[in-house]
Amino acid sequence: MSLTVTLLGTGSPMPAPDRAGPSTLISAGEGPGAEHYLVDAGRGVLMRLGACLLGAPNLTAVLLTHLHSDHITDLNDVITTRWVMTFEPTPLTIVGPVGTQHVVDHILASLDPDIGYRMAHHDDLDHRPPVTVVEVTEGAVELPDGQGGSVVVTCAPTDHKPVEPSVGYRFEHGGTSVVAAGDTVPCEGLDRLCDGADALVHTVIRKDLIANVPMQRMQDTLDYHSSPEEAAQTAATAGLSTLILTHYVPPMPLSGTHDDWRDLAAVHFDGTIEVGDDLHRVEIDPTTTTTTTSDTNGAS
């Protein structure tokens, strides 16, 4: 059985006209019975989901790797849209590191005026947004009864200090496994998640370029992100077949072409390396040890 990875948003904190904020969709199955796991919820995530003919009601769960603003910018949109576009109470499960409940509580508080307006206007909207938060540190991710089931999700701590805690996730379905790293430098927790997996989705930055930018705020990013080379070394150590890069800083084409990013990783990893724009789609199927890719924005 395969897992499908869709890069919904390949951007970063730097707004770009053609890249939504960090968000990745991990999907298993087809049709109404499919399971869709949204990893992070950067700006524009629901627009990109719409391009996949999906929406907030289709999500099995939202999983946050950490609480940096660019990774949760549109979490409020996911919460609200799930609420108003389902016609009976349909809880949204949000999984994240310790601190996630605090953030979600404050998002819901900020939405209080809107919630009141909508409930006053729509007689059939007689409940507040039902949200269940599951805070995790390491091990199995237990979703509420009735949510998910065919995909096994585990997590482990990553290293994005001083952003702490942060976690990565592993998704397993019928013998196929994909890891979503989020923002991190190489670390033991990520190595454990990747052990025996098939593919790794990893955020990356061009450290070789950023090192030459004479701005302290840019220099500060160097010590808590991975470069393409470091992500490739993580994938090679684990013996993965596929590495999928995302969260490009600086954004392309300022930072080069898809091939430039791929070539940096290829020095350390001889498997399949995927570099794409928003909506780049990769099907991971270990029975064929190949991936099929498509991209509505014309990425190579």
Compute the distance between CA of residue 196 and CA of residue 142 in angstroms, rounded to an integer. Answer: 21
Compute the distance between CA of residue 90 and CA of residue 47 in angstroms, rounded to an integer. Answer: 21
70 annotated active-site: yes
Compute the distance between CA of residue 122 and CA of residue 62 in angstroms, rounded to an integer. Answer: 27
Report the DSSP pairing between strands 61-63 and 92-97.
parallel
Cis peptide before 253 (omega within 30 of 0): yes
> Catalytic: which of 40, 70, 278, 285?
70
Q: Measured at the alpha carbon of residue 289, what is the angle toward residues 158 and 246, in degrees to the nearest 5?
A: 40
Asked if residue 281 lies in contact with residue 294, where contact means CB atoms within 8 angstroms, the answer is yes
Partnered with residue 62 across adjacent β-strands are: 38, 94
Of 156, 224, 141, the closest CA to residue 189 belongs to: 156
List active site positions: 70
